[in-house]
Amino acid sequence: MFSGIIVLACVFAGCTQTRKEMLFNGKDLSNWNFVVEGDQVPADRVYSVQDGTILIQGSPLGYMYTKEKYGNCTLEAEWRWTDEPANSGIFLLVAAPTNPFPNGIECQLRAGYAGDFVLLGGSEMAEYKQPEGQERPKFPSVKKRSESSEKPAGEWNSARIVVRDGQITVHINGVLQNVGTSPVKEGHIGLQSEGGKIAFRNISLTR
């Protein structure tokens, strides 16, 4: 009887089941595929696991991406620059994992710009407004809403990214930085190699 009351209460309250999974197990990269620009070097020279974190060299250009595609979810990840502040990104709703850039939306992690959206591989966002009379740039962007909320190089930052029916909401270190809407509702998640060494840890997904 008591359990039945709980079930009914959940129904009327709109309760939904959630499932949290770790996209990185802290030991290996078995859940990921890899892209290296022009296949210049073996992937394990760019993407590796050190001390329980993912270490990405930043050169050559490329990205690692989940073997599975994801739709509605909350993605949480931590990152830090291991040397000097540089460039990287978290790729979302990747429809086509092509080399060296996919078709997908990048949540920019470039130092000073974390939270910008970059439209990769011809992807679209409702919030992107192309200037009249100008050609579409190679990497269109939707700028973040607030001043940088990033921490200095060497310190861990956190990203919380919510995807709901193509709408992407980004918090960087607890600060709302951007909201954008993609026509794509499902895709791979990626971590970029571009410009400098970056480490990732505590990469989880709830759906």
Q: What is the DSSP letter of 43?
A: G
Asked if 176 and 146 count as a contact pair (C-beta separation under 8 A), the reply is yes
Comparison of pLDDT for 14 and 73, the residue scoring more: 73
Q: What does the pLDDT read at residue 17?
A: 65
Comparison of pLDDT for 78 and 18, the residue scoring more: 78
Alpha-carbon distance of 118 to 36, in angstroms, equals 20
Q: What does the pLDDT read at residue 19?
A: 87
Q: What does the pLDDT read at residue 110?
A: 98
- Assess whether pLDDT exceeds 60 at residue 108: yes
Residue 53: which residues within 8 A CB-CB, separation 6 or more? 26, 199, 200, 201
Q: What does the pLDDT read at residue 43?
A: 98
Asked if 4 and 187 count as a contact pair (C-beta separation under 8 A), the reply is no
pLDDT tens by residue, 153-203: 999 999 999 999 999 999 999 999 999 999 999 999 999 999 999 999 999
Instruction: Read off the pLDDT band of 28 (50, 70, 90).
Output: very high
- Mean pLDDT score, 22-36: 97
Residue 31: which residues within 8 A CB-CB, separation 6 or more? 23, 24, 25, 66, 67, 68
Alpha-carbon distance of 66 to 140, in angstroms, equals 24
pLDDT tens by residue, 110-156: 999 999 999 999 999 999 998 889 999 999 999 999 999 999 999 99
The mean of the pLDDT values for the chain is: 93
Short-list 80, 50, 56, 51, CA closest to 156: 80
Residue 132: which residues within 8 A CB-CB, separation 6 or more? none
- Assess whether pLDDT exceeds 80 at residue 7: no
Characterise 62 by phi-psi region: left (phi > 0), alpha (psi -120 to 50), beta (else): left
Return the residue matching tokens 């000073």.
112
- Assess whether pLDDT exceeds 90 at residue 9: no
Q: What does the pLDDT read at residue 46?
A: 98
- Which ranges in the chain belong to alpha helices (H)? 2-13
Q: What does the pLDDT read at residue 12?
A: 45
